[in-house]
Amino acid sequence: MKKEKKLFKYTLYADFYRAYGKNISKKKIVLLILKLTGQGPKFIYYMRLANYLDKVKSKLIRRIVSFHFTRMSYKYGVEISYKTKIGEGLSIPHLQNIVIGENAVIGRNCTILQGTTIGSNLFKARYDLATIGDNVLMGAGCKIIGPVKIGDNVTIGANSVVTKDIPDNVVVAGSPAEIVAEKPAVKIGQDYKSFDEFADSGYKVF
């Protein structure tokens, strides 16, 4: 099995585990893909699929999937490129009004809530956006204006405006965002298998 396919399967497994925990099942995921329920996980699934197909150069199928993904983006009011670098374990519980620039980099086990924007500061750089660490919670309506670096285990409060670097293990809030507490973000649904454990299971998503 090629490396890209292995990583694709593991990423899907981690994403779905964060949404459903140990209750994840093949039947539930199939129903999710076919129906209109579970909009966040469904959106993530097609984003990951388009990204995978782009890497393996499957032109015709990629065009079909990316077209469908674009339609979903308009329907749900979410602007995230499938080419954006986002680690496994992504959670988007609620869609609508999410805008993330393609050059943003987002780590593992991050949670993006509705109304989040990750954009650029034109006074500094047009295309340099945020680099976000692992286990970062982006609260509803928050704005992250790059270029900035956000550490691991950070909680960004609702409607906060981040304009400067943030260290690990803190809570920030306000406009502009400032540190209001020194404690790591809560970890939800992150007790899934490591990549090596997943490989030992034969790369089975379900």
Give the separation between CA 32 and CA 119, rounded to whole angstroms: 30
Sequence-separated (6 or more) residues with CB below 8 Å from residue 30 = none
In whole angstroms, give the CA distance from residue 143 to residue 140.
9
Three-state secondary structure readout of the chain: CCHHHHHHHHHHHHHHHHHHHHHCCHHHHHHHHHCCCCHHHHHHHHHHHHHHHHHCCCHHHHHHHHHHHHHHHHHHCEEECCCCEECCCCECCCCCCEEECCCCEECCCCEECCCCEEEECCCCCCCCCCEECCCCEECCCCEEEECCEECCCCEECCCCEECCCECCCCEEECCCCEEEECCCCCCCCCCCCCHHHHHHCCCCCC
User: Would residue 94 show up in a list of annotated catalytic residues for this protein?
Assistant: yes
Spot the catalytic one: 55, 94, 149, 193: 94
Catalytic residues: 94
